Structure 1
């Protein structure tokens, strides 16, 4: 984990990798809870028996937005800025779901600090996050995420 003292220290890290997280196993329970929270109960996510019969993946798969929603948790494994009192998700410049995440697979994320700009009394951060499936050459998701950080 990278520990930065303040926003200036963090900002000096632009253009560098923040590393790669540990793997996280995607469970059917996670997928079901996400479906319940979002109302997205499409069978490809929530019906293992039907998915085994009808899906090209032969199992249920995680929602793309479930994968993406893991970004804050996984980023917290990669870095911390001691002076930051608040962070806000601001949006995304680009998100691509490039591969399905079968339930039971293990997912990790790498992050690169692309850009930092002054934003009022804080900074706006653009981070490229790449979600990787263990043993797969193709990532599950590549997202350029924007966060506001305030001291």
Structure 2
């Protein structure tokens, strides 16, 4: 895990891979809870029997937005940004889904610092996020997440 305490420490990673998270298994329970939270109960996600019988993946798949929602959790395994008053999830840009994440797949996040800017005391970073699926060559997605950090003086 990378520890970052200042703008300058963050900036030292510009253009570099910051790290890779631990593996996380997306199981049916997590998929079902996400479906309940978002009211998205499409059968390809929640109906195991129908998905096995009629679906193209021989089972259920995780919601694409579930895999995106894992970014903050997995990011915290890569970088420990300290000495901050506040951190804000500011945006997501240019995400492309490469392939679905099948139930019980293991995923991990790879993060690279694409840009960093000091906006009158607020640090804006753009992290290239790639979700890797264990045993697959093609990632689940690649795109940019934008965070704002208010470092302590």
TM-score range, shorter chain: over 0.9
In structure 1, distance between residues paired with 2:82 and 2:149: 12
In structure 2, distance between residues paired with 1:85 and 1:7: 13
Structure 1 residues 29-70: Cα deviation after superposition (integer angstroms, max 9, x where no partner) = 110111111111100001000000011101000000100111
2:75 partner SS: helix
Alignment match, 1:71: 71
Q: Does structure 2 retain, via aligned residues, the 8 Å contact 1:16–1:112? A: yes
In structure 1, distance between residues paired with 2:104 and 2:81: 33
Q: Does structure 2 retain, via aligned residues, the 8 Å contact 1:94–1:145? A: no
2:139 partner SS: coil
2:84 partner SS: coil
Q: What is the aligned residue count?
A: 151
Q: Does structure 2 retain, via aligned residues, the 8 Å contact 1:7–1:81? A: no
In structure 2, distance between residues paired with 1:33 and 1:53: 22
- After superposition, the CA RMSD in angstroms is 0.9
TM-score, normalised with respect to structure 1: 0.96
Alignment match, 2:119: 119
Of residues 24-33 and 117-126 in structure 1, the stretch that sits farther from structure 2 once superposed is 117-126
Of residues 114-123 and 32-41 in structure 1, the stretch that sits farther from structure 2 once superposed is 114-123
2:62 partner SS: coil
Alignment match, 1:94: 94
Alignment match, 1:56: 56
Alignment match, 1:150: 150
Q: Deviation above 2 Å: which 4+ runs of structure 1?
A: none
Alignment match, 1:81: 81
Structure 1 residues 71-96: Cα deviation after superposition (integer angstroms, max 9, x where no partner) = 11111001112212211111122111
Gaps of 5+ in 2: none
